Amino acid sequence: MSNTCFWSIIFTGGFFMNTRVLNILKNITSLELQQKKSHKFCEDLPSKAINANLSKQANTRVLNNFFFRNRDIYISKHNRFADYPNHTHTFLEMNYMLHGSATEIVDGKELILNAGDLLLLDIGSKHAIKALGEDDILINILFREQTISINFLSDLMRNNSVLYDFLLSHTVSNTSSQKDFLLFPKKHGSEIKETIEHIIDEYFLKRDFSNSIIKSYLSILLTQLVREYPLSNNKHSSKQQKLIIEILKTVSEKYKTITLQQLADHYSYSENYLSNLFKREAGKTFSEILTQERLIQAHNLISSTTMPVTIVMEQVGISNKTFFYKKYKQFYHSTPGKDRETLDI
């Protein structure tokens, strides 16, 4: 066995990550070198990545959607050798401990991450990270709730998982009472480690179709987390909540043509009653949820095919071009044209 292969096994626990990616991650960057000499935090972000107004209100750094200008998922290595200050963000974040260990303070609670551990952080979760040593490699995986479709969440619901509730709170509800993080400790024989490291490889190698492959891997990763860390906390869901889940699944399957009146007729309710019930249980109106699912499906087509936007609109059930562009920009903070520019074909 070559020294390179042996080092890869020691570093990753068995999965052969690309040697070039491993070298990139282990290499000490110029910013890390500054921090190693001073043991003080050096700013690693441009000013436009930090929301000044929200930071002032929250009395802490608030990182915004700057990271998603040309991609759906943003991945980086956490800079070593200095404490990272308390901060929060307007997106979901995963911290994966590739090697070594790290100490994080999340909403005042100290957490220790060891190699193979994964921490999922809520939107708005405040956290700081103690200085990492040279052998500590922490990977940040950032993604927005817009990348999670209702179809995907409905599938997770079948497992009655804690992760489903965590993600659902950002996709269809604003009334979550959950804690602001989920910690998934390493499991021996788990497929999760291999999936994450495939994501890391794809991101840093920048090969053709990498954005689409990473999005697919993220869905696989989230599903694997549900399978390996189930928690049946929905057994006592109310009749109304179960009805909303059924409606969400119908929306995910028939988003092109489904209407609230059709659903009301199917469940023998008046349209007005079902509309109010849906808003109360889901936190958004039926129209908002339907439009959201159509936009997610449209974005998938725009970012993975060369299909004209007018055809994409037709495929997802939106006929008003002005409405489509307005809602698309509100939801993705981008335009179909800009997202099409990043298509890897």
- In-domain check, residue 257: yes
3-class SS at 336? helix
CATH code, 251: 1.10.10.60
Residue type, 236: H
**Do 315 and 179 share a structural domain?**
no
- Give the end of a domain, one of 221, 236, 251: 236
Q: Note whether residue 8 is domain-resident.
A: no
Torsion of CA 297, 302, 307, 309, to 10 degrees: 90
- The band of 271, judged by pLDDT with boundaries at 50, 70 and 90, is very high
The CATH code of the domain that includes 187 is 2.60.120.280
Mean confidence (pLDDT) of the chain: 84
Amino acid at 72: D
Residues 49 and 61 in one domain: yes
Q: What angle do CA 125, 114, 79 make, to 5 degrees?
A: 65
Segment (H or E) for 340: helix 336-341
- Does residue 1 lie within any of the structural domains? no
124: DSSP letter = T
Residues 187 and 83 in one domain: yes
Q: Are 342 and 70 in contact (CB under 8 A)?
A: yes
Q: What percent of the chain has pLDDT over 70?
A: 85
What is the pTM assigned to this prediction?
A: 0.72
Report DSSP state, residue 209. Answer: T
Structure tokens at 294: 């159509």
Is the model's pLDDT at 174 over the cut of 50? no
pLDDT in tens, 176-203: 444 688 899 998 878 899 999 999 999 9
- Which structural domain, as residue segments, surrounds residue 256? 239-341
Q: Do strands 84-89 and 61-63 pair parallel, antiparallel, or not at all (unpaired)? A: parallel
Q: Which residue has the tokens 């390179």?
A: 4
Of 236, 267, 293, the last residue of a domain is: 236
124 and 244 housed in the same domain: no
Summarised one tens digit per residue, pLDDT across range 288-321 is 999 988 998 898 888 778 899 999 999 999 999 9
Report how many domains make up the chain: 2
Q: Which of 185, 214, 236 is the last residue of a domain?
A: 236
Burial class (CB in 10 A: 0-12, 13-18, 19+), 248: buried
Instruction: Give the alpha-carbon dihedral of 36, 41, 45, 50, to 10 degrees.
Output: 170
State residue 280's pLDDT score. Answer: 86
